[in-house]
Amino acid sequence: MKQPSFSPLIAAVLIFCFIIFIPNQYLLPMVNDKTIEQAAVDLDFEMFQGEIIQKKMLENPKYLPIYGSSELSRLDTFHPSNYFKVNPIGVTPFLVGRGGTQSFFHFLNFANQKEGLKNKKIIFILSPQWFDKHGVKQEVFSSNFSALQAYKFALEPKVSERLQIEGAKRLLTFDVVNNDKMLKTLLEAKIHKDKKTQMKAFMIKPFAFAFMKILEKRDLLDSIFGVHVTKLHPQPSLIKNKTWGELEKNAYEMAKRNSTNNPFYIDDFYYNHKIKPKINWLKGYKRHASYLVSPEYQDFQMVLDVLKEAKAKPLFVSVPFNGYWYDYMGLSKKEREGYYKKIKQQIEKEGFPVLDLTNHEYDPYFLKDTMHLGYKGWLPIDKAIIEFVKHP
């Protein structure tokens, strides 16, 4: 009887050990320009939670980072990634965000990437829906949480002591952080300076550093071997060398064809799957909601503070509610306008510019659904990007 061969298993173990223990600097060249270019529209979860691809992207003047949430995945013809692929201006949009990536997620990311943000122009798209009375929810934060960024924040901080303390306090409000006893101890040591807390943190630091190095290696391997699946499908006939008037007309006509069965100017597919089954139940659903008091405002203030410390050059985009839909949901116009005013004042107080799109609440097809930019809504952002890139 033929004896089983363990050679393949042994070889696999040796290769695994080689990859794990080889110094990162020998593998970094494998994260090349093509990798970064593919990641620009991939909206890859591991890239959001990691640091290597974003670090290399920020070092390259070719890329204009656009930070936001789920609206970035609405890659229609007029989306910046498609528009500037057909009408190049010397920079390529690089998308960072997905559903649930609200302010505090971006704060941790920016805190980790602080050095690369110096003098870097970025776009930051705000969603009004972030600013409800709950702010980011536990399950949403957990699904987007980056252990690597949190351990980096705890062990290799790049921000001021004030932001370290504020960030640590906020992290400790989340279950996913409190369930990690090692990380919890490190963060508590930033807040509490008593001997007992400091000693506990001192004792676990070697183990925490070792774990962080494993997370760094995983990020590197994900960056090298990640599969890129997102492809752009621009329609040059609709956007190439068109005037803004022609672009708006084309966007309007495309949207009109795709929104035929509701009075809210919502895309048919979204309406049929997300809204129609519960349309009667949703009437007046938001009548008691408020967007003027929310923990999200403090989370967003930390975003402003870290960008200011980094000497970054952001342009913030303030997106409107869908007026037709939120009227139906019962959220008053007064409440919505209160949010618009408050968020604009918060940004301008820190000296940053705002692309204010909030007067488009009742502009048909400015939004693709109840909340996401689409069709006409991308056009003023495309236009603003041209001006933003052009001027120092």
pLDDT in tens, 265-315: 999 999 999 999 999 999 999 999 999 999 999 999 999 999 999 999 999
Q: Is 214 left (phi over 0), alpha (psi -120 to 50) or beta?
A: alpha
Asked whether 197 and 189 are in contact (CB, 8 A), the reply is: yes
State residue 167's pLDDT score.
98
State residue 200's pLDDT score.
95
Q: Which residues contact 237 (CB under 8 A, 6 or more apart)?
A: none
With tokens 């139906």, the residue in question is 328
Closest CA to 294 of 260, 335, 330: 335
Give mean pLDDT, residues 173-192.
97
124's tokens: 């930051």
Q: Would you place residue 392 in the very low, low, confident or very high pLDDT band (cuts 50, 70, 90)?
A: confident
Mean pLDDT over all residues of the chain? Answer: 92
Q: How would you label 118-155 residue by residue, b for 16+ Cβ within 10 Å and e otherwise?
A: eebbbbbbbbbbbbbeebbeeebbeebbbbbbbbbbbe
State residue 93's pLDDT score.
97
Q: Which residues contact 68 (CB under 8 A, 6 or more apart)?
A: 95, 96, 97, 101, 123, 124, 125, 126, 127
Give mean pLDDT, residues 352-377.
96
Q: Given CATH 3.40.50.300, say whether it is the number of domain 22-144+231-390.
A: no
Q: Would you place residue 1 in the very low, low, confident or very high pLDDT band (cuts 50, 70, 90)?
A: very low
Alpha helices per DSSP H over 158-194: 161-171, 175-178, 181-191
SS3 assignment, position 158: coil
State residue 229's pLDDT score.
73
Q: Would you place residue 6 in the very low, low, confident or very high pLDDT band (cuts 50, 70, 90)?
A: very low
Question: What is the biggest distance separating any 2 CA atoms in the chain, rounded to whole angstroms?
Answer: 83
State residue 31's pLDDT score.
74
Q: How would you label 68-83 residue by residue, b for 16+ Cβ within 10 Å and e otherwise?
A: bbbbbbbbbbbbbbbb
State residue 8's pLDDT score.
54
Q: Tell me: pLDDT of 181 over 50.
A: yes
Q: Looking at this protein, which amino acid is placed at residue 81?
A: S
Per-domain residue ranges of the chain? 22-144+231-390
Q: Looking at this protein, which amino acid is placed at residue 175?
A: D
State residue 25's pLDDT score.
59
Asked whether 286 and 331 are in contact (CB, 8 A), the reply is: yes
Q: What is the pLDDT of residues 329-344, one digit of tens each?
A: 999 999 999 999 999 9
Q: Would you place residue 391 in the very low, low, confident or very high pLDDT band (cuts 50, 70, 90)?
A: confident
**Distance between CA atoms of 163 and 104, rounded to whole angstroms?**
12
Q: Tell me: pLDDT of 358 over 80.
A: yes
State residue 42's pLDDT score.
86
Q: What is the pLDDT of residues 12-45, one digit of tens each?
A: 555 555 555 565 654 566 678 888 888 999 888 7
Q: Looking at this protein, which amino acid is placed at residue 350?
A: E
Angle (CA) 215 217 220, round 5°: 110
**Distance between CA atoms of 100 and 300, rounded to whole angstroms?**
14
Q: What is the pLDDT of residues 124-139, one digit of tens each?
A: 999 999 999 999 999 9
State residue 17's pLDDT score.
52
State residue 9's pLDDT score.
54
377's tokens: 């809504």
**Distance between CA atoms of 334 and 48, rounded to whole angstroms?**
36
Strand positions, DSSP E, the chain: 63-67, 92-96, 121-126, 313-318, 354-356
Q: What is the pLDDT of residues 202-260, one digit of tens each?
A: 999 999 999 999 999 999 888 888 767 788 888 999 999 999 999 999 999 999 999 99
Min mean pLDDT across 82-96, 167-181, 213-227, 358-372 is at 213-227
